[in-house]
Structure 1
Amino acid sequence: MRHTKLALAMLTAAVLAACGGTSPSGGDQTQKLTFTQQVSFGDSLSDVGTYAVGAVKQAGGGKFTINGDGTAKNPELTGKIWVEFLAAELKLPAPCAAQTGLMGNAAQGFSVPVVQNLNCFNYAQGGSRVTNPVGPGNAATGSPIGETTVPLVTQVANHLARSGNKFSGTELVTVLSGGNDVLMQLSTLSAAATAAGNAAGAQTFATSLTMQLAAGATNPQTAAQAIGAAIATESARPGSTTQTIVGAAVTAAATQPGNAAVAQASVYGPMVTKAQADASAAGAKAGADYAAANGPKLVQELGVAGAQMAALVKNEIVGKGAKYVIVANLPDVASTPAAKSRTADIQALIAAMVNAFNTQLKAGLGAEDPRILYVDLYTVSNDQVKNPAPYGLTNTSTPACGPNPLGTTSLICTNANTVAGDVSHYMFADEIHPTPFENNLVARYVLKDMAIKGWL
């Protein structure tokens, strides 16, 4: 979908007119529908401050974008995300986090009691997945931050528990999730592929080094057995290193008849270098082979997650009385800086995972439903990366946030720690999350679809 600046200007005018703005033709400018509140479910893309507590709050963070009001520096540096822009445009109360708190390292300021804020209806949480309770940042992953990552299915259940097991039908409900299912599945695959590569590399290193060291002995076969045993023994010893393993192997080799010369560094050094090269090649191949063999499983898992999200919308949101539900599909994760830093094979895998999720989500939602607005964030985000200028984007490949105490995450990114230069029209705050400007574009896109749907 190709937009131009003129189209965006017309879009904005149409939205303003629908919401009561000035229209050149005059006429009824009354908003067609009046929503009583905004209820949001999802992950970091919709999280307005679940983790804005403790050390995160002290650092000026809490949302996954460029945090803080930087409008004095540039009008686009609002610190807002798309659901905040949406609520403001519809004259709804500013969204607030339904739950706040962290379950991380107390010494670092990441252990803050979890509190339920009963008058707040933004249930989205950074790191949340569709059904799995363990997402990125969760303490179970080893993260010191200790994000709660309450999954989408539980977020909806929590709201229903508050509201008498039903929606009133006058809320505007937003649902956006699935990105962390992609990230966690990839993380699991990467760890397993790395382990497979390390195991293959270690085995190849031992074999290559053994055969080279044994070649000069009077009886190479007997020497190989002795060297192999020495390597195995040292490898199993706690605290062993490549250097100690090589030392054990060389010592065992030099004691074999006819092989004393191998003890000289000038002799065994090149052998170690070759063994390391062999190990590196074998490890890389084993890791790649593992990823290739197991990648299709991840695609299937994301398809399942997409179907689960659709069923949740149908059964527990629309099925429980919601009449105005915005369901957004996954943006083009494969075009984010995080994905672009990976190999071509992994980028292709990410694209396939996102496609599987979106396909099953849309299929699960079924035919056109007056209560559900399906927003295609994938198509627009894909076009923004390829054709940034018409959207007013100046950079779609480099994160705006610079290094901070938590790495480069936008959770504590502020206007004080962005990279040099004007980042106000960048697409990405960090390697995956959008800037306030991009969030505003998303909100405008959603408002346009709401107008077309007849909700504005």
Structure 2
Amino acid sequence: MKKQRSTRAALVRFAQVATASAAFALIAACGGGGDDDNSTPAGGVKLQVVSFGDSLSDVGTYAPVAAANFGGGRFTTNPGQVWVQNVAQYYGDTLTPAMTGGFGTPPATQAGFGYAQGGSRVTNPIGIGHATTDPANYTGALTVPVVTQVQNYIKAHGSFNANQLVIVNGGANDVLFNLQLVAAGQMTQLAAAGAIQQAAKDLVGVIGTILQSGATHVLVSNVPDIGTTPQGMLSDATTRGALSTFSSIFNQTLDGALQAVNLKSKVIYLDVPPKLANITANYQQLGFTVSNTGTACNLKAMAEAAQKFGEPDPQDFATSLFCSPETLTVAGADQTYMYADTVHPTTHLHALYAQFAEQTVAGTGLGK
């Protein structure tokens, strides 16, 4: 019982912080289906989807623990899917985890092509929620960095091919990790900016490796303006400003570094901030009743329930990783709220961003 509580506590401590990375899972697609027949999928072409990134693209790395103990299992309004799963369906594929584990369970290789993991940074293996520097100790989140996720794919499969859509995101946790150090007085803002710029440059190197390894359709998503999520809107002006500034630093560096090595024209680039801003500005016309000022998951009630069960840190349970229909603020909130928690998108928000992503991909002449 003590071990189970320790595992639960570790999981929720991770989830509370890692939620911030999944506000960036804003590219989902509607419809589609499996690839077990020869019919043309909604996207107009059959593609196998391979994804790398953080919690925005995590299709269930921690679900065996989270779902079994709390319900939920992904960083959204469960059972809604994260965007890469929906994109896969749109192109006639099904996306499942490439690895599961963490929080007391050793990592286990799975058959899926969803390599993204909640808490992961671009190159540093000690991501948000990673409880130890000992790689053999799995008390925390796995947080395999994006660079290693790609290496693991290449080791297992050799190369990419023209029948795949490779989706890459990253950097949000690098922004948040370094801002946490600034807030704690352990890093200057100048040093944090430098570290975030380096993370963006490193991500360009990862993208280059993917292209050099045979990928011809690579969708790259940048980081949204974190300051405009509920996490930023409900914070003080200084914190909100820092979230926006450092998000912009990462994106500007990413864009510039891609252009500097002539890769911008070789990828499908999804510029998230203006698309999110447009949705936020027109939220009511798009069917939402609450924009970036509230959460679909009843975070207060989730924390109170955890307290009744004697959890030492009940507030840690107030995250979308454990959100289910039973814990929504109101019935149907997965469709009427933009955000599941303070940063993660709801099912409806995923779907709206999907339309932008699909149009961006179609603009290259791929599918429809």
Q: TM-score range by the shorter chain?
A: 0.7 to 0.9
Q: CA deviation at 1:20?
A: 6.5
CA offsets 1:2-57 (integer angstroms, 9 cap, x no match): xxxxxxxxx99xxxxxx766xxxxxxxx93x442x110000010101000113543
Q: CA deviation at 1:425?
A: 2.2
Q: Does 1:440 align with 2:333?
A: no
Q: Distance in 1 between matches of 2:270 and 2:277?
A: 14
* Alignment correspondent of 2:126: 134
Relative contact order, higher structure (CA 8 A, sep 6+): 2
* 1:53–1:112 contact (8 Å) kept in structure 2: no
* Alignment correspondent of 1:398: 294
* 1:300–1:356 contact (8 Å) kept in structure 2: no
CA offsets 1:358-412 (integer angstroms, 9 cap, x no match): 1111122225756410001111112222331233332122111123344211111
* Alignment correspondent of 1:172: 165
Task: Tell me the secondary structure at the aligned position of residue 374 of structure 1.
Answer: strand
* Alignment correspondent of 2:20: none
* 1:311–1:364 contact (8 Å) kept in structure 2: no
Q: CA deviation at 1:341?
A: 2.7
Task: Tell me the secondary structure at the aligned position of residue 184 of structure 2.
Answer: helix
Q: CA deviation at 1:133?
A: 1.2
Q: Does 1:42 align with 2:53?
A: yes
Superposition TM-score, scaled by structure 2 size: 0.78
CA offsets 1:249-307 (integer angstroms, 9 cap, x no match): xxxxxxxxxxxxxxxxxxxxxxxxxxxxxxxxxxxxxxxxxx8xx22322222222111
Q: Does 1:361 align with 2:271?
A: no
Structure 1 residues 320 and 434: alpha-carbon distance in aligned structure 2, compared to 1, 3 A threshold? same
Q: Distance in 2 between matches of 1:47 and 1:326?
A: 16
Q: Distance in 2 between matches of 1:412 and 1:57?
A: 10
CA offsets 1:77-120 (integer angstroms, 9 cap, x no match): xx11111111111111x110100011x3xxxxxx2232101x21
* Alignment correspondent of 2:63: 52
Structure 1 residues 20 and 46: alpha-carbon distance in aligned structure 2, compared to 1, 3 A threshold? closer
Q: Does 1:152 align with 2:163?
A: no
* 1:101–1:114 contact (8 Å) kept in structure 2: yes
Q: Does 1:300 align with 2:194?
A: yes
Superposition TM-score, scaled by structure 1 size: 0.64
Q: Does 1:349 align with 2:341?
A: no
Q: Distance in 2 between matches of 1:435 and 1:420?
A: 13
Gaps of 5+ in 2: 1-28, 31-39, 307-315
Q: CA deviation at 1:170?
A: 2.1
Q: Distance in 2 between matches of 1:152 and 1:169?
A: 21
Task: Tell me the secondary structure at the aligned position of residue 390 of structure 1.
Answer: coil
Code of the aligned partner of 2:215: A
Task: Tell me the secondary structure at the aligned position of residue 52 of structure 2.
Answer: strand
Percent of residue pairs identical: 34
* 1:331–1:382 contact (8 Å) kept in structure 2: no
Q: CA deviation at 1:168?
A: 2.3
* 2:41–2:90 contact (8 Å) kept in structure 1: no
* Alignment correspondent of 2:310: none
Task: Tell me the secondary structure at the aligned position of residue 105 of structure 2.
Answer: strand
The RMSD of aligned alpha carbons is 2.4
Code of the aligned partner of 1:398: G
Match of 1:373 among 268, 271, 284: 268
Structure 1 residues 174 and 319: alpha-carbon distance in aligned structure 2, compared to 1, 3 A threshold? same
Q: Does 1:412 align with 2:322?
A: yes
Gaps of 5+ in 1: 1-10, 13-18, 22-29, 69-78, 105-110, 194-290
Task: Tell me the secondary structure at the aligned position of residue 53 of structure 1.
Answer: helix
Task: Tell me the secondary structure at the aligned position of residue 358 of structure 2.
Answer: helix
Q: Distance in 2 between matches of 1:168 and 1:370?
A: 18
Higher radius of gyration, 1 or 2: 1
Q: CA deviation at 1:145?
A: 6.6
Code of the aligned partner of 2:318: T
Match of 1:330 among 215, 223, 239: 223
Q: Distance in 2 between matches of 1:454 and 1:138?
A: 41
Task: Tell me the secondary structure at the aligned position of residue 317 of structure 2.
Answer: coil
Q: CA deviation at 1:335?
A: 0.6
Post-superposition, which runs of at least 4 consecutive aligned residues in structure 1 deviate over 3 A? 367-371
* Alignment correspondent of 1:266: none
Q: CA deviation at 1:440?
A: 1.3
Code of the aligned partner of 2:203: M
Q: Distance in 2 between matches of 1:48 and 1:398?
A: 24
Q: Distance in 2 between matches of 1:388 and 1:191?
A: 35
